[in-house]
Amino acid sequence: MTLSAADLRDRVLAGDRRAVARAITVLERGGDDGAALHALLYPHAGRALRLGVTGPPGAGKSTLVDRLARELHGDFSRLAVLAVDPSSPVTHGALLGDRIRMGALQELPGVFVRSMASRGLLGGLGPAALEVMDGLDAAGFDLVLVETVGVGQSELDVAFAADITLVVVAPGAGDGIQALKAGLLEMADIVCVNKSDLGGAETVRNDLMAAFELSSARSEKAPAILLASSKTGEGVGALAASVRELAGDEDFRIRFGERRRRAAQRRIVGGLQREAGHAAERVLESDPVLVTSVVDGLMTPRAASHEVFRRILKGETS
Amino acid sequence: MNHASAPIRVLVAKPGLDGHDRGAKVVAAALRDAGMEVIYTGLRQTPEMIVRTALEEDVDAIGLSIHSGAHMVLFRKVLAMLREEGMDDVLLTGGGIIPEDDARTLAEEGVGRLFGPGAPLSDLVKYIREEVEARRKASEMKES
Ligand SMILES: Nc1nc2c(ncn2[C@@H]2O[C@H](COP(=O)(O)OP(=O)(O)O)[C@@H](O)[C@H]2O)c(=O)[nH]1
Ligand SMILES: [Mg+2]
């Protein structure tokens, strides 16, 4: 299927599933084609509720997404899931297995599931994933659910990409305390202690509640901490109710306006950093003396950065 | 960016009701290690589920692992459904216990090469890579 960007946009806006799938591929590849398509779709995005689901590997995120999304399907009949997994930094390959756990969800009408490899990022949501989310939003999905593994810096990405952030933990490996250490819980609106059918879930919840009471770092109010089992379904209804409550019934643009402003600002600055990085590399390639001066101790790295910045502003990037 | 440099996306699925998915998992891991993005969906996939996944994931290729003896029915069904969706450009390949005559018949109908249980995984990797690259090039030619 080869279409011009404008044709592809028209078909995406009309809800053509195959066009949506192809558009995601184009956005994911980025470059000029991706940027052009994104520019056409972006004006139509902004209406969907964006729900981020993160947590350690194996906590049961995908299994929970399957249950939770089915619970929410009544309120959000057009529902998209974007499941992001890390690519191997060595081979660039990826094994994307989240769909295995989402069999029941895929049976429902109006549901679209897409797996995405993080391509070059350690696991976080990079600019491409954000543009894919915009694409799904523009395609008219009422709810865009994004699942990512919480490692390193990536959990922060989710909190910025989403209106509501759900952190999933489980007893045992990847339990709450570990997640707390990794800074995972600081941006949570809701924490789900999953696998409540197994022993130890209550203890994890109590530990987390104690930790939140002690934590002074959090300015916003402490998140709801809910027990659930994605295996039996117990507690998932309450979890869905808590998502509904946070979502409210106003326009999401207004309800989450402040968050979306912060997210937009972060994207603008992030894009600028990437562009400035490329420009700086071009300056240094065109004038290798700068690097030599730093190596020889004639100039500090900071002074060289200032010099590069000055040249970029003057347009001397050749 | 051109198509050729983007990672190859492959769906690995095991249709039918028979047994375990060890074989499919090994294949999925080998394709990943060869730098591909592998969408793995596990056991008991119906042709409808396979085609739906292939559509949503916009894959370049589908690899089916079939040991049940139902390969003629399953490959034909998936191929017909792909055509119905206009997804003729997706490579349909796979492996399992498939007699040579059957593989030849399916190839004449439009299925790609099929690999027996003894075939080295590197052959499958090489085949998918070359075939997908050729198809991407052909579709780029059409574009320009
Ligand atoms: N006992 C139990 N196992 C669960 C539950 N939720 C998920 N699992 C299992 O935990 C494993 C990891 O689940 P998955 O959803 O893939 O986790 P993810 O890596 O966080 O997406 C799988 O074997 C699931 O079957 C649960 O509530 N209870
Ligand atoms: Mg998962």
Domains of chain A, start order = 1-43 (no CATH), 45-248 (3.40.50.300), 266-313 (no CATH)
Mean pLDDT of B121-126: 95
Closest-CA residue of chain A to B90: A1
- B72-113: per-residue pLDDT in tens? 999 999 999 999 999 999 999 998 888 999 999 999 999 999
> Which residues, in sequence order, are bridge partners of residue B45?
B15
- B24-39: per-residue pLDDT in tens? 889 999 999 999 999 9
User: Closest by alpha carbon to A192, among A147, A223, A146?
Assistant: A223
Closest-CA residue of chain A to B8: A93
Residue B1 has pLDDT above 50, yes or no: no
Counting ligands in written order, the one closest to the CA of A98 is 2
- B46-75: per-residue pLDDT in tens? 999 999 999 999 999 999 998 888 899 999
- Residue of B5, B10, B58, B59 to mutate when probing chain A, most A C-beta within 10 A: B58
Contacts 24+ apart (CB under 8 A), B107-115: B109/B76, B109/B79, B110/B79, B111/B75, B111/B79, B112/B61, B114/B71
ipTM of the complex: 0.94
CA distance B15 to chain A (A): 13
CB contact under 8 A, B55 and A114: no
CB contact under 8 A, B86 and A1: yes
CA distance A310 to chain B (A): 30
User: Closest by alpha carbon to A49, among A139, A127, A145?
Assistant: A145
Which of A101, A146, A191, A226 gets mutated to test ligand 1 (max ligand atoms within 8 A of its CB)? A101
CA A69, CA A75: separation in Å to the nearest integer?
A: 10
CA distance B52 to chain A (A): 9
Closest-CA residue of chain B to A81: B56
> Which residues, in sequence order, are bridge partners of residue B64?
B13, B94
Residues with CB under 6 A from ligand 1: A 55, 57-63, 101, 194-195, 197-198, 229-231
Ligand 1 atom closest to residue A101's alpha carbon, by position in its atom list: 15
pLDDT class of B141 with cuts at 50, 70, 90: confident
Q: How far is CA A31 from CA A248, A268, B66, in A?
A: 37, 17, 39
The pLDDT of residue B129: 97
CA distance B116 to chain A (A): 23
Torsion of CA B1, A95, A109, B62, to 10 degrees: 70
CB contact under 8 A, B35 and A22: no
Digitized pLDDT (tens) for each residue of chain A, 318 residues in all: 667 899 999 999 999 999 999 999 999 999 999 999 999 999 999 999 999 999 888 999 999 999 999 999 999 999 999 999 988 888 999 999 999 999 999 999 999 999 999 887 665 788 899 999 999 999 999 999 999 987 666 667 888 999 999 999 999 865 666 666 666 677 889 999 999 999 899 998 988 888 777 665 555 667 899 999 999 999 999 999 999 999 998 899 999 999 999 999 999 999 999 999 999 999 999 999 999 999 999 999 999 999 999 999 998 655
Residues of chain B that touch chain A, judged by Cβ-Cβ distance less than 8 Å: 1, 3, 6-7, 28-29, 31-42, 49, 52-53, 55-58, 85-87, 89, 139, 142-143
CA B83, CA B90: separation in Å to the nearest integer?
A: 9
The pLDDT of residue A59: 92
What is the CATH code of the structural domain delimited by B9-143?
3.40.50.280
For chain B, the domains span 9-143
All residues of chain B having their beta carbon less than 8 Å from the beta carbon of residue A131 are none
CA A145, CA A185: separation in Å to the nearest integer?
A: 18
The residue type at A72: L
Which residue has a Cα nearest atom 9 of ligand 1?
A60
Counting ligands in written order, the one closest to the CA of A150 is 1
Which of A230, A234, A239 gets mutated to test ligand 1 (max ligand atoms within 8 A of its CB)? A230
CA A39, CA A183: separation in Å to the nearest integer?
A: 34
